[in-house]
Structure 1
Amino acid sequence: MPEPLKGKVAIVTGAARGLGHAYALRLARLGADVVIADLNLQGAARIGEELTAASVMAEVEALGRHSLGVEGDLRQPEQAERLVAATLEAFGRLDVLVNNAGVAVARGSGTLATETTPDGFDYLIGVNLKATQLCCAAAAPAMKAQRSGIIVNISSQTGISLLEGGNLAVYGAAKAGVAYLTRALAAELGPYGIRVNAIAPGIVETERLKRLDPAMGIGTPEQLEAIALRRFGQTEDLANVLEFLATDLSGYVTGQVISVCGGAVLHPS
C-alpha cells in the first residue's frame, strides 16, 4: 500500500474506539506515526469493541509505526496543550490533527432543546466544540512554524440537517459550530500552508450505536429509508474520506465540510 504520510505525525482525539479508532489505523496504514488521545484509553473494552492487540497504540505499532497514548479531558486548555507538547516531545513535529472526540448525549439530560439541562448544555458544547477549538489553538503554533499542516474536524449530519422532532438539539448546535469554526480556521491558517476541513458523518454502525437505547431515535428504520444508498455508514466509509483530506489528494481543498451520509442530506449546506 502506498505510504503518502510516511514520516508524518498525526494526533487523533477520541481514538480509543469507534470512528477515532478507524481514523487512527487508516493514518497508520498511510505511513504516519499516530498519537492516540482519549479520556479513557481503554474505551474499546468498555463498549465491547474488539481490538487486534492490547490497545489501539499496540495496533498502530503492529502496523510498523510509532504510537503514543495520551489520556486527558480536552475541554481543559492545559490538557489540550499537554497533548500537543507530548506529541512534539516524542516525535518533534505535528502534521495532522483529527478532532474526533465528541458525544451526542449528556447523562441526566434530555435530548430536545427545551429539555436539555444547563449542565448537559455545557457538557455537550464543551466536548464537541470547545475541545475542538482548544486542540486547534494548541496545534497551530507548531504547524505555523513548519509552514504546513492538516486539520480535520469532525462535525455531523446533525449539524447540517435536523433530526426528526429536533432530536439531539444541542449536539447538533455544537457540531454546526464545528463547521463554522472549520471555515474560520481555514481563512486564518491558510496563509501558513495549513489546510482545515471537516467531515460530517451520517449514521455510522459503530459498536456504540449498536448499544444505544432505541428510544434515543438513532438508527431507526425510517432513517434508513431516508438514505439514498439505503444503508448506514461503516467506519471505513469515513476513513476513506479522511484519507482524501489528510493527503495531497486534497491539496487545494480547505474550509470545506464534507457530508458523508449516503445521501441522507441532499441540499447545499
Structure 2
Amino acid sequence: MVVTGGGTGIGRATARAFAERGDRVLVVGRTAATLAGTAELHPGIRVLVADVTEPDAPDRIADAAVSALGGLDVLVNNAAAMGYRPLAALDRAEAERQLHTNLLAPVLLTRAALPHLAERSGTVVNIGSAGALGLRSWPDNGLYGAAKAGLDFLTRTWAVELAPRGIRVVGLAPGVTDTRADPDPADADPEQAAFLKQIAARTPSGRVARPEEIAWWVVQLTRPEAAYANGLVVPVDGGLSLT
C-alpha cells in the first residue's frame, strides 16, 4: 500500500489502519518528523519523504513502493492542499499549488503506478471531499472544490479505462474531519475550534468525523469483498451533504 499525505490526519490514520491488519505500507509526505510519528510502533510502515508536486515524485514513489514492499496493490491518493480565498484574491502561485497537489499529482502518480498495480489487480482510492459533491457551491474555496470534483470525475473515468487491466478505482468523499493531534490542547486554535463546532451543529449526525472513521472506509473499499465496487465515490460526512 502507498498512502500519500501520510504524516498527519486521515493519511496517518489510514496508514496505521492498514498496518494494524498486517499490511505493509509506504507513507509519503514532505516532513520527516510527522512521517516518523505515523510509523512509530508500526513496524509494517515504511516512510518516504517526498513532495508529490515535484517532477520526479511519481517515479520515485512508485519505485520506492516496489523496492520497500515488493510490489504495489493499493494506492491512496490522499495528499491535499487547501487555501481559503475568493477568486479576486487568488494569485497564480496559489492556484498552481492547489491544482498541482489536489489534481495533477494524483494523475501523474497513478499513471506511474499503473504497471505495478496491474501486476496485482490493484486498487486506487482517490480521497475527494463531500464539500465538492453534487450541485453544491463552496464560496472562498472554489479551487479546492473544483480540483476535488475533478478527482471524482477521474475516479469514474479511470474505473472504466483501467478495468480491462484488472485495476479498480474508487473514491471517498469525507466530510469535515477533526485532524488535530489533540482535540483539547491548551494552545488550541480558537478559529479552528469554532469552525469545527459550527460544522458539527449543521451536521445531521451532530459532530465532525474522526480520522479513524474515514480510514476504516478506505480499508473496506480495498478489501477483496469489495471487488465488485468500481467507479463509485462514497460520501462519509454524517449526512451534511444531504442538507
TM superposition score normalised by structure 1: 0.81
Partner of 2:29: 38
Residue 149 to residue 215, structure 1, CA distance change in 2 (3 Å): closer
For the residues of structure 1 that align with 2:181 and 2:17, how far apart are their CA atoms?
Answer: 20
Q: Which letter maps to 2:209?
A: G
For the residues of structure 2 that align with 1:93 and 1:251, how far apart are their CA atoms?
Answer: 19
Deviation at 1:113, TM superposition (A): 2.5
Contact 2:81 2:97 (C-alpha < 8 Å) held by counterparts = no
Post-superposition Cα deviations, 1:182-225, rounded to whole Å, max 9, x if no partner, equal 1111111111111111111111111179656728984252x322
For the residues of structure 1 that align with 2:232 and 2:8, how far apart are their CA atoms?
Answer: 26
Deviation at 1:234, TM superposition (A): 0.7
Helix, strand or coil at the partner of 1:60: coil
Partner of 2:202: 226
Contact 2:131 2:241 (C-alpha < 8 Å) held by counterparts = no
Residue 185 (structure 1) aligned with residue 158 (structure 2): yes
Contact 2:25 2:69 (C-alpha < 8 Å) held by counterparts = no
Partner of 2:9: 18
Aligned residues: 237
Contact 2:129 2:174 (C-alpha < 8 Å) held by counterparts = yes
Partner of 2:89: 115
Contact 2:62 2:112 (C-alpha < 8 Å) held by counterparts = yes
Task: Using the aligned pairs only, state the percent identity.
Answer: 30
Partner of 1:55: 37
- Equivalent runs, 1:206-217 vs 2, <5 Å: 206-207=179-180, 214=191
Contact 2:80 2:101 (C-alpha < 8 Å) held by counterparts = yes
Partner of 2:118: 144
- Asked which structure has the greater RCO (Cα within 8 Å, sep 6+), the reply is 2
Structure 1 gap ranges (5+):
1-9, 45-53
Deviation at 1:233, TM superposition (A): 0.6
Contact 2:175 2:240 (C-alpha < 8 Å) held by counterparts = yes
Runs of 4+ in 1 over 3 A off after TM superposition: 208-213, 215-218
Helix, strand or coil at the partner of 1:35: strand
Partner of 1:93: 71
Residue 212 to residue 193, structure 1, CA distance change in 2 (3 Å): farther
Structure 2 gap ranges (5+):
none
Partner of 1:51: none
Post-superposition Cα deviations, 1:61-116, rounded to whole Å, max 9, x if no partner, equal 1xxx2x321111111341111111011122221011111111212xxxx5222321
Partner of 2:228: 252
CA RMSD of aligned residues (A): 2.2
Residue 189 to residue 212, structure 1, CA distance change in 2 (3 Å): farther
